[in-house]
Amino acid sequence: MTALVAGMGTTLPSAYAGGTIKADEDKWISIGMGIRSSFNSQEGAAGGHYSNDFKIDNARIYINGQIHKYVKFTFNTDCFNCNVGAGGTQFGGNSNIGLLDAIGKFEINERVNLWVGRTLVPSERGELNGPFYHATFDGFRTPFNPADFSGNFPSGPNGAGPGTGGQAGLYGRDNGAVFFGKIHPFGTHLLYVASVFTGARGGPNNTGSLLYAGRLQWNLLNDEDNPGYYTSGTYYGTAGDIFAISGNVIHQKDGAGDFVTGNRSDFTGATVDLLVEKLIPNNMGVFTFNAEFKRYWANYGVGAFAAPAPGCAFCIFNGHSWTVYGLYLIPQEVGIGRFQPYLRFTSIDPLYSALRQEWEYGLNYIISGHNARVSVYGRYGDIETKGFVNTFGPGASGNKVDSFHVALQLQY
């Protein structure tokens, strides 16, 4: 008991949120939390009237632990319906708290590691950042991956499924196994990840085909220190100069389209992403640049969109998209934090639907890195009005509209 109480005063490395209860060097458990909330106001599709609402975007509990020198675990929860809303009620589906991660970790050394359970599918940096480690408050602005539909999470309003076009992109988890490690050729840092997951079930996939995903991340300057194969969108200069280029491929046989109509296909996705972070000499601040290009192949044909209710279960994005954004962290403190203005552009070009684009401009107030941040930002574009999730079929239309947002992020 004395050891446990004494251990509560210690903290883990920054890779894990929360405080630690430590039994000995090889046995400990940490508990943390994270919340993200926002105020959102969007112009109506026909102009004029603005919608206004407050949302709880995430409410998470983090539990990490180690029971052996080489054996660890992670157990995380989230509030899946907090930002969904249910028939106009205030607390959206009673704001269900559920399982987000359940990972058994066999971490032998830097080069050889195996995670098994429910975890993030290794894809582009945007998904691997998760909502709390993006450089901007809402980082998920390009089309989503199959894992955003396949991890037994509620995808549409009240968990109605991806065919309703609801809450994909928030989780990116699936059940499977991930093998990863890091080597350092010629003084650089190369992270490799190979994985297999359950993938899409039902819908077009009635044969039990698995989903395969792999990723390579090459840091030419300083390394990035994150748990496992996870990433961050910025380090606010604490990691020094970074130049990291990465690529990933995801594939699943019969992973897209609709089985009932016969309009189905294999799914293959390829992404290239880039992170550049530069400390400007003479303590003149930090410049951060993120870029991502996606090309998805899901050639199920337009007939899939005519599937009977509840609609096409896995009409996943087919086409290409890209986003770029730059941020500048001002070095001088104002009050308890520093300001970070930024600008972002996103373009989504589906094969079966209309082009949609968006500008985003904003200002982050960085109090304690990713642990305490306030964001104020605006958008102008037609991504929301033409449909952002699972609405990449013929006939999509919508005007460009303005929206304004104020957001808070806290975690420990």
Q: What is the per-residue pLDDT across 267-322, written as a single tens digit (0 to 9) for each? A: 999 999 999 999 999 999 999 999 999 999 999 988 888 888 777 878 889 999 99
pLDDT at residue number 202: 73
Q: How many domains does the chain contain in total?
A: 1
Given pLDDT bands bounded at 50, 70 and 90, which one contains residue 94?
low
- Signed CA dihedral, 247, 174, 166, 234: sign only: negative
- Burial group, residue 325, by CB count within 10 angstroms (0-12, 13-18, 19+): buried
Residues in the chain: 412
- Average confidence (pLDDT) over 389-408: 88
- Taking CB atoms within 8 Å and a gap of at least 24, the contacts of 12-15 are 12/64, 13/225, 14/225, 15/225, 15/226, 15/227
The token duo for 170 is 């928030």
Rounded CA gap, 289 and 148, in Å?
A: 25
- Average confidence (pLDDT) over 352-366: 96
Contact (CB, 8 A) for 398 and 385 = yes
Q: Does residue 402 fall inside a structural domain?
A: yes
pLDDT at residue number 311: 79
Question: Is the pLDDT assigned to residue 68 strictly greater than 90?
Answer: yes
Q: Does residue 5 fall inside a structural domain?
A: no
For residues 147 and 48, the model is more confident at 147
Q: What is the DSSP letter of 187?
A: G
Q: Does residue 8 fall inside a structural domain?
A: no
Given pLDDT bands bounded at 50, 70 and 90, which one contains residue 25?
confident
Q: Is the peptide bond before 310 cis (omega within 30 degrees of 0)?
A: yes
- Residue 137 belongs to domain spanning: 20-411
| CATH number (domain holding residue 320) | 2.40.160.10
Cβ neighbours of residue 100 closer than 8 Å, sequence gap 6 or more: 60, 76, 77, 78, 118, 171, 173
Number of H helices, E strands in the chain: 4, 17
pTM, two decimals, is: 0.88
Q: Does residue 14 fall inside a structural domain?
A: no
CA dihedral 88, 90, 94, 97 (to 10 degrees): 120
Rounded CA gap, 83 and 405, in Å?
A: 14
Residue 259: helix, strand or coil by DSSP?
coil
Question: Is the pLDDT assigned to residue 10 strictly greater than 80?
Answer: no
Q: What is the per-residue pLDDT across 185-225, written as a single tens digit (0 to 9) for each? A: 999 999 999 999 988 877 788 888 999 999 999 999 999 99
Q: Does residue 301 fall inside a structural domain?
A: yes
Q: Does residue 12 fall inside a structural domain?
A: no
Q: Does residue 42 fall inside a structural domain?
A: yes
Rounded CA gap, 77 and 90, in Å?
A: 22
End-to-end CA distance of the chain: 24
Rounded CA gap, 53 and 39, in Å?
A: 6
Given pLDDT bands bounded at 50, 70 and 90, which one contains residue 84?
low
Summary mean pLDDT of the chain: 86
pLDDT at residue number 149: 66
Q: Does residue 10 fall inside a structural domain?
A: no
DSSP 111-130: S-EEEEEEEE----HHHHHT
Q: What is the per-residue pLDDT across 321-352, written as a single tens digit (0 to 9) for each? A: 999 999 999 999 999 999 999 999 999 999 99
Question: Is the pLDDT assigned to residue 16 strictly greater than 60?
Answer: no
